Structure 1
Amino acid sequence: MGLAHLEEMCGLCGQECSWIEPGEPIQYSSRPWRRHVGDWYLKPMDESPSEEPPQRTSASGVIQWIDPDAMLAEAVRVWLDDASRKVETHLGLVGEVRVRLLGDEEMARAHERYKGRSGPTDVLTFDLEPDSDVLDVDVLVCVDEASRRAAQFGHDVAREILLYMVHGVLHCLGYDDHDPEQAERMHREEDRLLEAIGVGAVFAPAGAVDREGAR
């Protein structure tokens, strides 16, 4: 299965957001909420069909956390699993979202390969079945960038990583942030969801540093 649409979570990092179909004009997602299950993770660094899918490190569920280099402590992975199950329940998700955790170097390679931009970014999301009712999504999360942003905004890295995952999922459910009005709506929904599952607002918690002004 080839890569379909590529979405960069620029609402968090400040870079231009786009959905890209390789070889096709830029287009934007407007599809409604959707349900059902997908396939195993397609490693973006090497799409050779001989590649074995990476070992999953999280419990069975819609959202799978893949941490092949053990970048996170076991307690953090357990916390992310628990929070992910709550996200799944709250949104009524049935499908598969594979979240691979990377460092700066590997994310920079992916950023260059799929967006033609140098340096790492926070998140890249690959929607493998954009025209299907089946959620089949791969998400790359840069733990190093999440650590920097978490320190900047005064919360722990697990909450920042969870925010990135939620943002990617919402993009695949029809949310966009291509203009200020859409971005505000999307970020409100991110924090509303995180509050609903007991984590609390992460993008714009009361009294916190303004992300927009801190870029």
Structure 2
Amino acid sequence: MNIQFFAEHTDFSLSNEGVISKWIKEIIHSHKYSLSEINYIFCSDEYLLEVNQRHLDHDYYTDIITFDNSDEQGVIESDIFISIDRVRENAVNQNERFENELNRVMIHGVLHLLGYSDKSKDEKKAMREKEDACLSLLKI
């Protein structure tokens, strides 16, 4: 059960890694999944754009890309790339604290790994509600 945090092309570092790790593990276990490993890679817009282009053939900026590396149903093993630039901009645009937006994006990636989708309008609404429910459990 390992959650690690890395930075690529940014000087960002998470200040409350222990609390965030515990919260994420609780969310995963509450869904009856087990955790093998999650690597969060905080990066710049340009770095994540390159990941998006190289691995997904998408040529646009995004706040998060989640790679499901697990070969086993019910086991979480993932690399989650998060653009700190994009999260900061989204926080400003949504009049939200940066930390709150970052936590939302971090759990968003986990929710995808737990089987939640956000392709349709109804799925996006359900995803947002699930994010809110998860965020209400985070005690910082």
Give the structure-2-normalised TM-score: 0.83
1:191 Cα deviation from its structure 2 partner: 0.5
Q: Which has the higher helix share?
A: 2
Cα RMSD (Å) = 2.1
CA distance in 1, matches of 2:43, 2:18: 17
CA distance in 2, matches of 1:84, 1:64: 8
> Does 1:66 find its partner at 2:9?
no
1:94 Cα deviation from its structure 2 partner: 2.9
1:130 Cα deviation from its structure 2 partner: 4.8
User: What are the ranges of 5 or more consecutive residues in structure 2 without an aligned counterpart?
Assistant: none
Query: Residue 163 of structure 1 corresponds to which residue in structure 2?
Result: 104
1:66 Cα deviation from its structure 2 partner: 0.9
Q: What is the one-letter code of the residue matched to 2:39?
A: R
Alpha-carbon contact 2:62-2:86 (below 8 Å) kept: yes
Helix, strand or coil: the match of 2:15? helix
> Does 1:78 find its partner at 2:15?
yes
Helix, strand or coil: the match of 1:94? strand
Q: What is the one-letter code of the residue matched to 1:155?
A: E
Q: How has the CA–CA distance of structure 1 residues 68 and 122 changed in structure 2, closer, same or farther, with 3 Å as cutoff?
A: closer
Q: How has the CA–CA distance of structure 1 residues 171 and 154 changed in structure 2, closer, same or farther, with 3 Å as cutoff?
A: same
Alpha-carbon contact 2:28-2:114 (below 8 Å) kept: no
1:108 Cα deviation from its structure 2 partner: 1.2
Higher Rg = 1
Helix, strand or coil: the match of 2:40? strand
Alpha-carbon contact 2:35-2:77 (below 8 Å) kept: no
Q: Percentage identity across aligned positions?
A: 23
1:115 Cα deviation from its structure 2 partner: 2.4
CA distance in 2, matches of 1:113, 1:147: 24
User: What are the ranges of 5 or more consecutive residues in structure 1 without an aligned counterpart?
Assistant: 1-36, 38-61, 200-215
> Does 1:196 find its partner at 2:137?
yes
User: 1:63-109: per-residue Cα shift (whole Å, max 9, x none)?
Assistant: 22112555225xxx122441231231244253211110110111111
Query: Residue 112 of structure 1 corresponds to which residue in structure 2?
Result: 53
Helix, strand or coil: the match of 1:119? coil
Helix, strand or coil: the match of 1:117? coil
Give the structure-1-normalised TM-score: 0.57
1:125 Cα deviation from its structure 2 partner: 0.6
Query: Which residue of 146, 156, 161 corresponds with 2:87?
Result: 146
Helix, strand or coil: the match of 2:119? coil
> Does 1:99 find its partner at 2:40?
yes
Q: What is the one-letter code of the residue matched to 2:76?
A: L
Query: Which residue of 73, 76, 79 corresponds with 1:132?
Result: 73
Q: Which has the higher strand share?
A: 2
